[in-house]
A and B are shown apart, each in its own frame.
Chain A
Amino acid sequence: MVAPDAIVSVQDVSKNFRSVVAVDRASFEIGSGEIFGLLGPNGAGKTTLIRLILDLIRPDAGTIEIQGQPLTEAGKNRIGYLPEERGLYSRQKVLAVLEYLGTLKGVSRERARGNARDWLRRLEIDDLRNRPVQELSKGNQQKVQFIATVVSDPEILILDEPFTGLDPINVDLLVRSIQELAAEGKTVVLSVHQMSLVESLCRRVFMINRGRQVLYGDLEDIQNRHSEPSFLVRSGADYRTCELIDRFSSRNAETTIYLKQGVEPARFLRWLLESGAEVESFQRARTPLDEIFIRVVRDSS
């Protein structure tokens, strides 16, 4: 399952910490310009994978390539990283911290300052630029941390749990920023626990449990593969009278219909229309990602 023009390529990578297998023969590729989801329960090995990609730690086996070659110093400059364990110089002023972290990515001081100011405005905290980091609220510190990731205008963004600690308004602000960055052609690697956000942001995902790959590929394919043939219907029909239905469950006005083995969906739709009841909506039900997540984790553990 090769992504078109892969920018990050992980091949058969393993990493052990003493007797603990943190990552076991992981292989995946991240395509240029996509938002790629890195999923897995706590302690599954996501952060280890990210640290391996960033060359913070070295793999015991396997190869990792960024744009077709091992990570060089110049390569590091092209990656922005938001670690799960947040950290900034708490006594220093916001703008000074952002400037410094920008220059460490090889960007000039002036450019780092300009980018930082742009992003501070974009995330609506420009008025806090001269305040010491520790005086900011947790949510605003989080935004500063995000800006530190993008201040050098990197081609690849690795965001480990970027939404924790944010209220819905700020989550939305950040989601839009990530989408804008992707639209500009940046590659985003996203590790999040909120499956609804994965569904709305990512096209492809890699899921790891206990160091092993459990899911990898196109999100829609994965969901289809893990979904039983069922439909979400809003209508006034009396489903009890339908012989095509195996079982159904209703929640509010919406009913999930499971058809009997071998029944064509079109036949059921015809029945529905012929029943004379008003049909508000009819759609194929897709198992929500968090349900797949739980099922896959349980099966693989």
Chain B
Amino acid sequence: MSKVWAIAKREFMVTVTRKGYLFTLFGLPLLMIGGLLAASLLSRETLRDSQANQEPAGVVDRARVLNFRLQAATSPTGSTNPLPLPGPRVQSRLVAYDDLDKALADLRKGDLSAVFLLEADYLQSGDIVVYAAEKGIFSQLTRTGRRHLSALLRASLTSGRLEEEAVARILTPGRFKEMQVSKQGRIQPEGNLLKRVGRFLGPFIMFFLLTISIFMSSGYLLQGIAEEKQNRVIEILLSSVTPTQLLMGKMMGLGAAGLLQVVFYVVLLVLPASLILTLMTLSPGQILLSLMYVVLGYLLFAGLMAGTGLLGNTSQESQQLSVIWTMTSMIPMFLVASLMQQPHSWLARSLSFFPLTAPVTMLLRLSTDEVPLVDVLVSTAVLILGIFLAVKGASRLFRTASLMYGKRPRLGEIFRWLKEA
């Protein structure tokens, strides 16, 4: 046991002083939060910019249907405006032109963002031609203009012909007020944007960091073992300790390093977030179960990565091989939208019952909703079985693959080793 302890201590110390570990510990959460903030600020800024700087659009109305005086009424900037435009607040104006050529000349000069042409038969055909300067395929410059023109058209066509209230409802069919009904039957209005985003993002960030912890720690195990094989220390180690001792020591040491990471994240991010910002809507049960899946997931991938680390000749080669595990386990990540919307679908449940995808799927489901006890029990059982097989396989490979240098083993050879040792 003292040997296991010595190995665990060394692995822990070597890992927590790695640059990569320290970066993940401090840098990753900062980067994620910073990135989210920057992204939201940036998108708001660009939106505002693109709208504020928008040039007016020209309209050539040969059908004579538009009443430009109604523009003030449809403009969101008008303070007495009873008919706010749907969508973001915009300042784009529409300018009437009689002559298409003059309008196009102004468009070329850059004074106009677009020119709309309503032919005389507009009422019958509904056709509107839009002229816009060449701006590339991502240009959305005519969008606000179009929205404006549509609103003005609706206003012009209905005003005076229908009751004022009906006109108002045509222009703005409804203002939605969202109420949340909790499972306990409590009804409350939706919170502000920060809370709404946080309720989704908080658990998601936690899910993401926990997943990262699993793969970082088991990744270090892979790297460590592959390096020991590459620089041949493994032969000395195995002449002193049994494969099981070596594997246990490593799993303990790196597991402790991973656990430190998780605790750090929980204490520094999740707790403040739930206390101060009330972002965290997860129950203590969900959090505890999540931590259990982190541990189980770590043990499973540690076993798999240890075995994989023994197969390659260099750590790069082993890392390439390990992609099989990481890619499979990341399948739930690709289905994240579907899984979060329907955390109890057959897809979510079957992914929970397959050992490789179980940890990430269960973490994701737990970050979204409570999970039925049956699912927890079955996935835990499946994971424990997986861990048993992975660890057993890895310690068998220590007896065979760890001393094989030279060419990369073929699949048949690996199976033989697993059976043989």
Contacts and interface: CB of A to CB of B under 8 A. Distances in A.
A267 to B, nearest CB: 56
B239 interface: yes
Contacts of B233: 87-89
Contacts of B235: 56, 81, 83, 85, 87
A73 interface: yes
A57 interface: yes
B231 interface: yes
Of B2, B232, B237, most A-chain CB atoms within 10 Å: B232
Interface stretch (A103-111, A184-192, A201-209): A103-111
B398 to A, nearest CB: 9
A206 to B, nearest CB: 20
B48 interface: no
A79 interface: yes
Nearest to A54: B239
Contacts, number: 61
Interface stretch (B3-11, B157-165, B332-340): B3-11
Interface of chain A: mostly helix, strand, loop or mixed = loop
B399 A57 contact: yes
Contacts of A148: 236
A77 interface: yes
Contact of A100 (B10, B231, B232, B238): B10
Given A58-B399, A100-B6, A105 B240 contact: yes
A126 B375 CA distance: 60
A67 interface: no
Interface string A66-109: 00000001001101010101111110100000001101111000
The secondary structure that dominates the B interface is helix
Nearest to A76: B240
A88 B36 CA distance: 44
Contacts of A79: 239
By size class, the interface of chain B is 20 to 34
A226 interface: no
Interface in B90-134: none
B83 interface: no
Nearest to A105: B240
B232 A81 contact: no
Given A81-B236, A88-B231, A51 B403 contact: yes
Contacts of A89: 231, 233
A56 B238 contact: yes
B334 to A, nearest CB: 37
Contacts of B52: none
Given A51-B403, A100-B10, A103-B3, A90 B231 contact: yes
Of B3, B228, B235, B242, the most chain A CB neighbours within 10 A belong to B235
B16 to A, nearest CB: 15
Nearest to A158: B239
Interface in B227-253: 228, 231-242
A100 B241 CA distance: 12
A255 B393 CA distance: 65
Given A51-B403, A57-B403, A85-B405, A104 B232 contact: no
A87 B238 contact: no
Nearest to B10: A100
Contacts of A51: 403
Contacts of A83: 232, 235-236, 239
List 6 tightest A-B contacts by C-beta distance, closest first.
A87-B232, A104-B240, A81-B239, A85-B232, A87-B233, A83-B235
28 contacts: A54-B238, A56-B235, A56-B238, A57-B399, A57-B400, A57-B403, A58-B399, A73-B241, A76-B240, A76-B241, A81-B235, A83-B232, A83-B239, A85-B405, A86-B232, A87-B236, A88-B231, A88-B233, A89-B233, A90-B231, A92-B14, A100-B10, A104-B7, A104-B240, A104-B241, A105-B240, A106-B3, A148-B236
Given A56-B399, A83-B232, A104-B240, 12 more contacts: A54-B238, A56-B238, A57-B400, A81-B235, A83-B235, A83-B239, A85-B405, A89-B233, A101-B236, A104-B3, A104-B237, A106-B3
